[in-house]
């Protein structure tokens, strides 16, 4: 399969799979041949706008057909696709633009970001006639995108990937979650997150159909679009399970890929009872998405090609999926040596090809000399019946050094703190009990910003001292 590595994935499918459906987006259907022709037209436009190989194209947009077309055109032209969350504040966008240092920005909504100048790209031009495509070579080792980490527990980092990283990640994913021609994969996660970017690449390399919709994720959408493959974070799964119609026998879904945070046993049991095959996933931007995946269990099995070793209980990673480096303003000096191990800051154990995740090195709370792993507390909180999502952060305390504080997304918005504290009495030692309980504020990104939660908790804790 490596023979595909050095060729544009869309052009490859246009040659071998021309009339298969590549993308469906709210009434617009494109075969692989039609998609290839659309990319040809966009390529000419971008070149006419003086973009050249190695330039960074910043795209500030929600998921849409337009931004996917730009993502794929960048791969074809050797441009670097840099997607940003349109819900970010002006300051958050400016911080990332200062890192990217690009003169080329495309805005899906220029009115919302009126302080920025957008490239004039015409997506309404359609090709005239059909030209039999020839193989189109690309350089798989050149950087093709920069995706920022969520910065949930620190500053966001600009992660560079080469096409080869995504290619081998997609091939590895196939071993755990088969994706075939005529399967329909819904882009349910944002392109500015590695999970969304990987969904697009996995689908195209498999010659399957990518489904993109502005419609809110719901059971009726899954049924209407005959979705077979779906990636979800915990909040999305919770919302779907709240509908009694979310049953495998009522839908076409073959595989549910679950990631992004902890999933409660309660949610997993319900998912299994509804007849779905689910796959928990341990992954990260620096490894181009999935590293280890389970099937209807919590047993995470390493995907082919992943190189893992444990150093001082920390998971270190390497392989063809490992990212190219963190962008520092200059491509060449940003690249890591090919054989360098990446220290993930995740704590874990390796037993054969099974990976056990134990927590994060940067989320250890030391309270009165006792070690508390934040993820342990979160896992226990999540199994309380009235909690949708829970996060633990540390607050600095003059007596104990640090104390845990909890942020909770309550079911139906109904706070059950007293019942929760009773529930925790025989499940957590006294020093592990949260000293504060806060309602989880609304978040703009796919992942919760633990830094922001910590600031809120610390201010409240200081007022009690």
pLDDT in tens, the chain (465 residues): 577 899 999 999 999 999 999 999 999 999 999 999 999 999 999 999 999 999 999 999 999 999 999 999 999 999 999 999 999 989 999 999 999 999 999 999 999 988 899 999 999 988 776 667 899 999 999 999 999 998 766 688 999 999 999 999 999 999 989 999 999 999 999 999 999 999 999 999 999 999 999 999 999 999 999 999 999 999 899 999 999 999 999 999 999 999 988 899 999 999 999 999 999 999 999 999 999 999 999 999 999 999 999 999 999 999 999 999 999 999 999 999 999 999 999 999 999 999 999 999 999 999 998 999 999 999 999 999 899 999 999 999 999 999 999 999 999 889 999 999 999 998 998 999 999 999 999 877 778 889 999 999 999 999 998
The tokens describing 378, both together, are 């979160």
Q: Any residues with CB less than 8 A from the CB of 176 and at least 6 apart, and which?
A: 279, 290, 293, 295, 301, 303
CA gap 82, 183 in Å, rounded: 28
How high is the pLDDT of residue 1? Answer: 53
How high is the pLDDT of residue 260? Answer: 86
Domain boundaries, the chain: 2-358, 368-464
How high is the pLDDT of residue 127? Answer: 77
How high is the pLDDT of residue 152? Answer: 65
How high is the pLDDT of residue 61? Answer: 97
CATH number (3.10.129.10, 3.40.50.12780, 3.30.1490.20, 3.30.499.10) of 2-358 reads 3.40.50.12780
CA gap 142, 80 in Å, rounded: 9
How high is the pLDDT of residue 444? Answer: 75
Phi, psi of 267 (to 5 degrees): -65, -40
> How many Cβ atoms from other residues are within 10 Å of residue 179's Cβ?
21
How high is the pLDDT of residue 153? Answer: 62
For 368-464, CATH number? 3.30.300.30
The predicted model scores a pTM of: 0.92
Q: How many CA atoms lie within 13 A of 463 on its CB side?
A: 7
- What residues pair up with 271 in beta bridges, in sequence order? none
């Amino acid at each position: 399969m490596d023979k595909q590595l050095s060729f544009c994935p869309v052009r490859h499918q246009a040659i071998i799979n021309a009339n298969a459906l590549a993308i469906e987006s709210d009434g617009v259907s494109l075969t692989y041949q039609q998609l290839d022709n659309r990319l040809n037209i966009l390529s000419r436009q971008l070149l006419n706008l003086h973009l050249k190989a190695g330039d960074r194209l910043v795209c500030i947009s929600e998921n849409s057909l337009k931004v996917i077309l730009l993502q794929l055109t960048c791969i074809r032209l050797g441009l670097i696709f840099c997607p940003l969350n349109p819900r970010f504040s002006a300051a958050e966008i400016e911080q990332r633009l200062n890192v990217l240092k690009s003169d080329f920005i495309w805005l899906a909504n220029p009115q919302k970001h009126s302080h920025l100048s957008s490239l004039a790209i015409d997506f309404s031009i359609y090709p005239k006639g059909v030209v039999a495509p020839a193989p189109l070579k690309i350089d798989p080792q050149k950087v093709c995108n920069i995706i920022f980490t969520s910065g949930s527990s620190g500053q966001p980092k600009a992660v560079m990937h080469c096409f080869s990283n995504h290619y081998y990640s997609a091939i590895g994913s196939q071993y755990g979650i088969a994706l075939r021609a005529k399967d329909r994969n819904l882009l349910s996660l944002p392109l500015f997150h590695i999970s969304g970017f990987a969904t697009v690449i996995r689908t195209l390399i498999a010659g399957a159909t990518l489904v993109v919709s502005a419609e809110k994720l719901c059971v009726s959408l899954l049924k209407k679009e005959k979705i077979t493959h779906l990636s979800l974070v915990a909040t999305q799964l919770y919302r779907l399970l709240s509908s009694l119609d979310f049953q495998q026998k009522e839908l076409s879904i073959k595989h549910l890929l679950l990631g992004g945070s902890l999933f409660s046993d309660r949610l997993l049991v319900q998912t299994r009872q509804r007849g779905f095959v689910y796959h928990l996933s341990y992954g990260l931007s620096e490894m181009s998405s999935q590293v280890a995946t389970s099937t209807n269990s919590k047993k995470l099995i390493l995907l082919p090609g992943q190189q893992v070793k444990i150093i001082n209980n920390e998971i270190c990673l390497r392989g063809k999926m490992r990212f190219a480096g963190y962008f520092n303003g200059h491509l060449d000096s940003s690249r890591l040596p090919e054989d360098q191990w990446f220290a993930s800051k995740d704590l874990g154990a390796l037993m054969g090809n099974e990976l056990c995740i134990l927590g994060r090195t940067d989320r250890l709370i030391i309270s009165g000399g006792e070690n508390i792993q934040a993820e342990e507390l979160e896992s226990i909180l999540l199994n309380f019946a009235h909690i949708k999502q829970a996060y633990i952060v540390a607050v600095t305390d003059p007596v104990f050094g640090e104390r845990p504080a909890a942020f909770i997304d309550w079911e139906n918005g109904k706070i059950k703190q007293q019942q929760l504290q009773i529930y925790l009495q025989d499940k957590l030692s006294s020093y592990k009990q949260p000293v504060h309980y806060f309602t989880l504020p609304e978040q703009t990104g796919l992942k919760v910003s633990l830094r922001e939660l910590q600031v809120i908790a610390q201010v409240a804790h200081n007022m009690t001292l």
